[in-house]
A and B are shown apart, each in its own frame.
Chain A
Amino acid sequence: MNIKIRNLSKAFGEKQVLQNLSLEFASGKCHVIMGPSGCGKTTLLRILMGFEKQDAGTIEGLPVHKSAVFQEDRLCEDFSAVENVAMVLKKGFPRSEIAENLRAIGLDGDLNQPVSEYSGGMKRRVAIVRAVLAEADLIFLDEPFKGLDTDTRDLALQYFLSHTKGKTSIVVTHDEKEARMLAAAEHITHL
């Protein structure tokens, strides 16, 4: 089922962030939202995630099961990469499969050390694997590849695309190249 946004508006005090926004996200596709800083990309994602309430407008077709890569990594710092991912999965999900996914995104080395000991780029990739493996019909990604070098970003991007085929995802990015690699032109929206 497509996600339909009609006449969405949102203001923070005097500042109108979104004004009569209407969009439709086709089911099973990767959608990219682009635009300058402060244009309301993250606000739109936060409304779709249910963390903000719109002032006006309607949203239809939002699935119940969602996952996300936030602007910040939002990992449990004291726990390992494997545990961070296992935390959002069903009990009994094979740890070996989690480790396999973490390795597929280029995280080699000790996957059992606390993520507090990881670099920013490593944490980012753990957050991506967590969102991809979580049981979800819709994945939100807010600048998911921020802070990754080109090679690592390409690897993470390939991992994401190959593991989310047929799933609906909404990605916020500033990077044109990233946007083109992620989505077909008709699925790129400029706010």
Chain B
Amino acid sequence: MEKPSSLQMLWLKKVGAIFLALTFWQIAAMKIHSRILLVTPIAVLKRLCTIWQVENFFSSIWFTFYHIAGGFLLGLILGILLAFLAHKIPVLEILFWPWMVTIKSVPVASFIVICLVWLSVNNLSIFISFLIVLPVIYQNILTGLKSGNREMKEMAQIFRVSPFRKLKYIIIPHLRPYLLSACTVTAGMAWKAGVAAEIIGTPSGSMGKMLFLAKTYLATDDLLAWTVIIVAISVISEKVFLYVLKKLLGESKRRDAA
């Protein structure tokens, strides 16, 4: 029989660790023996099988998804635009600086409360995920632009390469790792902050509201089942988005037919 590879071994170890954690959880829940304090993983699994029957289940998922994804995309686009502007016009970098530092350092909870005064609760998660994403994307892209290759700039200058081609052949390949790392970090953060905003603002028809209700009614199995769903959607959407982004940015790397 063939020996498992090191990668397979790693996966086996990880699966083992998950199984061990679940066992620990199961034993702890059985010991505590309180459905309010801690339910067993089996109870959560059972609830996951039936939770889709809850009224507005799919619409809640869709509501939260498009608000957080919308905020993420807005932060992504504006972060890139502002970084390009700040790189082109240095005084703008100074002008943007207090805004970006404030956004980064003010706690998310404070922003949520402030925004509750200014915005309708329905748009809260868009704005919060936008705020989480914007400074990270801006900073990463600006760093990438600043570390631009002088030699390649000179090459483009002497050959009078058009701005579009410069973008395609020089700038995008250079910025690719900066953008991908920023998106990898912010995609998960946007979900966490967006759902936190929904739990505090409780917009009707959102997953945050579902979590809030589960907590109110002390339905711990519902609370954990919704948490599992949020984590699953967050991970899936992050993977899909990064896959699409890599494809888009990597398109120019593909082989060209002579």
A residues whose Cβ falls under 8 Å from a Cβ of B: 49-51, 65-68, 70, 72, 74, 76-80, 82-83, 86-88, 95-96, 98-99, 111-114, 130, 134, 140
Contacts and interface: CB of A to CB of B under 8 A. Distances in A.
Contact of A76 (B157, B173, B258): B173
B255 A113 contact: yes
Interface of B: 151-152, 154-155, 157-161, 165, 169-170, 173, 252-253, 255-258
B151 A72 contact: yes
Given A87-B165, A95-B256, 12 more contacts: A70-B155, A76-B152, A76-B169, A78-B252, A83-B169, A87-B159, A88-B159, A96-B258, A112-B258, A113-B255, A130-B159, A140-B158
A114 B158 CA distance: 23
B152 A74 contact: yes
A187 to B, nearest CB: 22
Contacts of B157: 50-51
Contacts of A74: 151-152, 154-155
B151 A112 contact: no
A68 B155 CA distance: 8
Contacts of A65: 160
17 contacts: A49-B154, A50-B157, A50-B158, A51-B154, A51-B157, A66-B158, A76-B173, A77-B173, A78-B253, A79-B252, A79-B253, A79-B256, A80-B256, A82-B258, A83-B169, A88-B159, A112-B255
A87 B252 CA distance: 12
B151 A68 contact: no
A188 to B, nearest CB: 24
Given A74-B152, A76-B169, A67 B255 contact: no
Nearest to B151: A74
A115 to B, nearest CB: 11
A79 B155 CA distance: 15
A87 B151 contact: no
B158 A49 contact: yes
Contacts of A87: 159, 161, 165, 169
Contact of A95 (B170, B252, B255, B258): B258
Contacts of A96: 258
B179 to A, nearest CB: 15
Contacts of B158: 49-50, 66-68, 140
Nearest to A103: B258
